[in-house]
Homo-oligomer: A and B are copies of this chain.
């Protein structure tokens, strides 16, 4: 199957499952479920959950078995955006082309909806259908996801990013932010799919390397699009990083060097899949997709 069609199919699987797992506004208390759905259904690219499905495939597993875990990745990603957008943090009014959660529902509900998305993510990780996945794999993934989403992962990146805004720039700090704020969840999304599918240590090491480089490439391209992108496509105002005095690859190295660094990360991602067979072709195609995207 052609890559874009396969991507669309996987994202549709994730969307259908998210719709099934998220309570609706008919479930009491209805408002919080409406707020959770508002942000999750605002239409992200679903790259993290798709990577979980693709990593399971790459090691010969059944993607269906990792759908709850894949959805958990999207819920964690969404929770981090909802809290990140709060007035006390980045104070963003728009995300994915729509008003942010706190602009529509107020700050209290945005805080609680973020908390609820994170909590639901762990509920999904604990539930892979009875007897479908051995419990020792499930519990290992809970531990990995919690570590990747915590202060040595996603939250750590967010903390350093918040503290660095407006401060003098430094390449070690930028690297730390990217590796943690974006990289940690890419890493965990890929590893979770592979672990649940029953990977060996060698494949897992290759996939981990792949995920780290892909996440880095993704984040550099994100930074570049914030400078040169099309507002209608990226769904937020161009130049918002500059407005917030955010540390970025283009601001630190210039556009040309940032592009070269993204390309290099993509090449390393591809090289790390050398030991894997045709099952990893989707992951290979993902590299060009992430580098060439304009949204």
Contact = CB atoms under 8 A, between A and B. Distances in A.
Max count, chain B CB within 10 A of own CB: residue among A28, A88, A109: A88
Size bin of chain A's contact surface: 35 or more
B115 A118 contact: yes
B126 A160 contact: no
Contacts of A150: 116, 119-120, 123
Contact of A111 (B83, B145, B149, B160): B83
A84 to B, nearest CB: 9
A33 B160 CA distance: 12
A230 to B, nearest CB: 30
Max count, chain B CB within 10 A of own CB: residue among A33, A150, A151, A152: A151
B138 A111 contact: no
A156 B136 CA distance: 30
Interface of A: 23, 27-29, 31-33, 36, 79, 83, 86, 88-89, 106-109, 111-112, 114-116, 118-120, 122-123, 125-127, 134-136, 138-140, 142-143, 145-147, 149-152, 155-156, 158-160, 162-163
Max count, chain B CB within 10 A of own CB: residue among A28, A83, A118, A126: A126
A86 B111 contact: yes
B139 A135 contact: yes
Copies of this chain, tallied across the complex: 2
A155 B135 CA distance: 27
A27 B151 CA distance: 9
A27 B36 CA distance: 33
B108 A151 contact: no
Contacts of A152: 23, 27
A184 to B, nearest CB: 11
Contact of A135 (B79, B115, B135): B135
A122 B160 CA distance: 23
B32 A151 contact: yes
